Chain A
Amino acid sequence: MKRLLFTVLACITLFSCTKTNKEWQQFETIELGKITPIGFAFVANNIWIADGDHNQLVEVDEKGEILNTAVGFERPMHIDSKDGVLYIPEYGSDQIIKYGNGKRDILSLSDSLDAPAGVAVFNQEIAIADFYNHRIVYFDGQKWFSFGKEGKIKGELYYPTDVQILTDKIVVADAYNNRIQIFDKSGNSLKIIGEEEKMNAATGLYADDSEIWITDFENDRVLVFDHDGNVQQIITQGLSKPTEILKVGKMVYIANYKGKNFSTFKQK
């Protein structure tokens, strides 16, 4: 009896310690017609898509039905949203446009940009991936400053294309260094992730407190890392020149620039 009890306890312990590593699996592909998606943002249960090739923003529902189109943006790239307002980096005009309720305002900056490719908004903070200046321009809630310079070593960037702000760090798609780089909020480099994965243009990212997702544009892949840099999953199914990742609830959306569609993924 004692032995039986011991066995049962051992089994319970074993099962409770087994890592429940649920994989993300493709759910469906939503075709977008002629739209070439580069950036995503989620506003009021719908997705806004930055269509860089056609200088427009398009609002679609989860089935890809077009609800709204806003034209006249100069090469909009990795957009973000806060409180129903879209923040749009215009690669062609070197400006960040705030767009909400049909109204457009230019975000006031203390420095000039050269091809902003991505913007992130978090509470009062704003971060901009300043592509040709190889840096991140950051507003910490009180002042603007920038960090990063052209180069390949830790702390340096080479054509950053996307950025995201978390509670205690800033995650950067260090695109043509083919890696992710994590900075603290003073601009000090904390960690480099993904260098050994042979990515070819790490262009779009999504990060939360548990995972960092990155698009490997030329290789038609998306890689999922934990914050220590361990690969959790490599996704290839249904991807065609992926440029952006958006996680909403239990669903992940991946924009396929060449495929002119987005793929949805669920954890199984």
Chain B
Amino acid sequence: MKNIMVILIATFLFGINNNLNAQSESMDEFTVQVDGLGCPFCAYGLEKKFKELKGIKNVKIEMETGIMDFAYPTDKSLTIVQVEKQVEKAGYTPVSVSIKRADGSVEKSEEANNNASDLVSGELNDIQFFVAGNCDMCKSRIEKAAKDVEGVQSATWNKETKELMVRAVSDVAKSTLQTAVAEAGHDTKSVKANKDTYNNLPGCCQYERVQ
């Protein structure tokens, strides 16, 4: 009887252990390419803020490459869009996200983004205007906001002159671009960013407001 009890308890404990192992192994692996990690205080801040997410493990940012890796429980079903939003919420600009799910499947965001600018065709115009900003993180955010406007082929912001140069199909209006950039938190001479959006920018990005 005593032996049976020992076997039963051992089997029970073995079962619990296996279950715990299965749970701990069931993590999805994420790789996020983040743009504009020029300032260590802000970059380490991104890593720190991600570490605070419940269940997240192995958060690591490689500063030279801008690549952030982390693992997240599979049962939370974290999506590419949610990751991108979390990165943007922290004030950073995601370039690409890839997820290796626990079942071995892989999801990537890169192809969709690349195709968007490839699809731009027709007569192209250059549009140039002032956008307020400070640093490399600002540059990434401003350029992404402009590139996300349909019909934009390229966007380059100069940190020294504060001028944004956009190449887009002819029906993209300057005001549309200015609104997009302002919605990302950056003042132009015609359209100003919302106060809350501005306040949510990382400290290093809080430029002198345009009067």
Contacts and interface: CB of A to CB of B under 8 A. Distances in A.
22 contacts: A36-B40, A52-B44, A53-B63, A53-B64, A75-B44, A75-B47, A75-B48, A91-B41, A91-B44, A115-B41, A115-B45, A115-B48, A131-B45, A159-B41, A159-B203, A175-B41, A176-B206, A203-B41, A217-B39, A218-B135, A257-B40, A258-B38
B204 interface: yes
Contacts of B47: 75, 92
Interface residues of A, number: 26
B134 interface: yes
Interface string A115-154: 1010000000000000110000000000000000000000
| A-B residue pairs, 9 tightest by C-beta | A176-B203, A159-B203, A53-B63, A75-B44, A91-B44, A52-B40, A218-B135, A201-B204, A200-B134
Contacts of A203: 41
A95 interface: no
B39 A201 contact: yes
Contacts of A200: 134-135
Contacts of A243: 40
B199 to A, nearest CB: 10
Interface in B156-211: 203-204, 206
A212 interface: no
Nearest to A36: B63
Nearest to B205: A176
Given A53-B63, A200-B135, A218-B135, A132 B39 contact: no
Contacts of A254: none
A132 B135 contact: no
Contacts of A36: 40, 63
Nearest to A201: B204
Interface residues of chain B: helix, strand, loop or mixed (majority): helix
B40 A201 contact: no
A223 interface: no
Contacts, number: 56
A213 interface: no
Nearest to A34: B64
Given A201-B204, A217-B39, A115 B44 contact: yes
A202 to B, nearest CB: 11
Interface string B27-68: 000000000001111001101100100000000000110000
B113 to A, nearest CB: 27
A217 B40 CA distance: 11
A194 to B, nearest CB: 15
A243 B39 CA distance: 10
Given A115-B48, A200-B134, A218-B135, A38 B40 contact: yes
A158 B204 CA distance: 10
A263 interface: no
A161 interface: yes
Given A159-B41, A201-B134, A243-B40, 18 more contacts: A53-B63, A75-B44, A75-B48, A92-B47, A92-B48, A92-B51, A115-B45, A131-B41, A159-B203, A175-B41, A176-B203, A176-B204, A200-B135, A201-B135, A201-B204, A218-B39, A218-B134, A218-B204
B41 A161 contact: yes
B48 to A, nearest CB: 6
A158 B40 CA distance: 16
Contacts of B48: 75, 91-92, 115
Contacts of A241: 38
A158 B63 CA distance: 24
Nearest to A53: B63
A146 B11 CA distance: 56
Nearest to B138: A218
A254 B63 CA distance: 21
Contacts of A131: 41, 45
Contacts of B203: 158-159, 175-176
Nearest to B51: A92
